[in-house]
Amino acid sequence: MTEKQVEGFHEAIQQMGRILFEYVASAMGTSQWSRAWFHVLNNFSMVRVAMPDGSINADLGPPSKGGFFTYLNEVRATKDRFAKKWHGFKLFVFPTGECTVEFDYNESDPKFFDS
């Protein structure tokens, strides 16, 4: 990957994190939450919110505003340029506004739809 491609990838992930954070914070209102994540694997995606009591809120769909899926397409367009090909990722956001990303290198996850 070129430096410009890395910067574009990083910017797209950061924008997805910003949009996801704003979406979850708005949807949860005054309810406390410990973290939320957008999980994409191949052509499937979901949003989950972890609550302070350890339960998982699965009521939210992916954000549809703010260009979220445009940024997702930008991220997906880079996956073949990495040294090791990934098939999905989890984008985590926290109430502090921080975000992290974990890549999934397995083509399938039998537990993807469990939560």
Per residue in 86-95, pLDDT (tens digit) is: 888 999 999 9
What span, in angstroms and rounded, lies between the C-alpha atoms of 62 and 69? 9
List pLDDT tens digits, range 46-90: 999 999 999 999 999 999 889 999 999 999 888 877 777 888 899
This prediction's pTM: 0.89
- Domain segments of the chain as ranges: 3-104
pLDDT of residue 81: 79
What is the per-residue DSSP string for 3-41? HHHHHHHHHHHHHHHHHHHHHHHHHHTT---SEEEEEEE
Confidence band for 115, pLDDT divided at 50, 70 and 90: low
Q: What is the CATH number of domain 3-104?
A: 3.30.500
